[in-house]
């Protein structure tokens, strides 16, 4: 599981008494880094961090929206004998709330192009990455199986052993995939079809009984570790979960 670092940073960036100018500079640099990676078609971890930032900011917004409405209606100003009385302490709190909401709105707007460009790249890769099962079984009883994925940039066919794991998160059960590379075959040494190569590997090298086997095919040569592999894992996990 990838480590969630961005959400922890957001707590600091939106804490009471923050230096909002410094915080803006921090997020500007991070968004610039994400966009630079996306311009190189490197999707992960930038898109995950961008999504985490958005979710964390939206959570903070939800947590504070009722406080802001109550403050605006009940505390910020009261009309007494035709005069507006604003308590000094309440005025300070109101200013901090306004700064927080302005900062969150600014950060969400700044982050939007990252999410949009990331979505475009991800959809394009997903549409140009096909997967098919070549084994007779649809599922393996212990959640394990194999899949192949070509690394077109390095001219390799990679074979992975995958395992579906169950995790609890905030009282919700969800699935994740753990994959280990078990063999890499250079394209120039492949004399047979991918299907024949995998069947030969399954017959002579693997230890699972009647494993489930999937083959990915694509002509894309996008960055492998940052884009192709994580999207393939996600696509296979979604297919297995249906």
* pTM for the full predicted model: 0.80
What are the structural domain ranges in the chain? 6-124, 130-241
Dihedral sign for Cα 122, 124, 128, 134, please.
positive
Kindly report the backbone phi and psi dihedral angles of residue 235, in degrees, each rounded to the nearest multiple of 5, phi listed first.
-65, -40
3-state secondary structure of 57: helix
Count of residues making up the chain: 242
For the chain, helix, strand, coil in percent to 5 are: 55, 20, 25
Q: What span, in angstroms and rounded, lies between the C-alpha atoms of 101 and 69?
A: 12
Contact predicate 71/97, CB 8 Å: yes
Give the pLDDT of the chain (242 residues) as one tens digit per residue. Answer: 344 444 336 666 666 666 778 888 889 999 999 999 999 999 999 999 999 999 989 988 887 766 655 555 555 555 444 445 555 555 566 677 778 888 899 999 999 999 999 999 999 999 999 999 987 766 665 788 899 999 999 999 999 999 988 877 667 778 889 999 999 999 999 988 999 998 888 888 766 667 889 999 999 999 999 999 999 999 999 988 76
Q: Which helix (H) or strand (E) holds 114?
A: helix 88-127
Helix or strand holding residue 183 (H, E): strand 172-186
């Amino acid at each position: 599981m990838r480590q969630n670092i961005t959400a922890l940073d957001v707590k600091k960036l939106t804490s009471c008494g923050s230096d909002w100018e410094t915080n803006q500079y921090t997020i500007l640099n991070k968004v610039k880094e994400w966009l630079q990676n996306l311009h190189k078609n490197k999707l992960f971890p930038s898109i995950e961090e961008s999504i985490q930032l958005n979710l964390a900011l939206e959570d903070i917004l939800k947590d504070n929206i009722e406080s802001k409405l109550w403050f605006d209606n009940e505390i910020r100003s009261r009309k007494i004998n035709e005069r507006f009385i604003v308590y000094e302490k309440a005025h300070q709190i109101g200013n901090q709330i306004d700064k927080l909401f302005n900062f969150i709105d600014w950060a969400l707007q700044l982050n939007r192009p990252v999410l949009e460009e990331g979505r475009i790249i991800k959809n394009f890769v997903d549409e140009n990455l096909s997967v098919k099962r070549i084994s007779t079984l649809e599922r393996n009883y212990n959640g394990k199986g194999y899949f192949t994925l070509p690394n077109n940039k390095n001219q390799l066919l990679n074979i992975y052993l995958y395992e579906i794991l169950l995790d609890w998160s905030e009282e919700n059960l969800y699935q994740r995939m753990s994959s280990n590379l078990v063999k890499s075959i250079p394209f120039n040494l492949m004399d047979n079809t991918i299907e024949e190569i995998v069947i030969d590997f399954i017959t002579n090298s693997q230890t699972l009984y009647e494993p489930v086997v999937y083959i990915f095919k694509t002509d894309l040569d996008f960055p492998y570790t940052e884009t192709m592999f994580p999207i393939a894992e996600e696509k296979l996990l979604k297919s297995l979960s249906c």
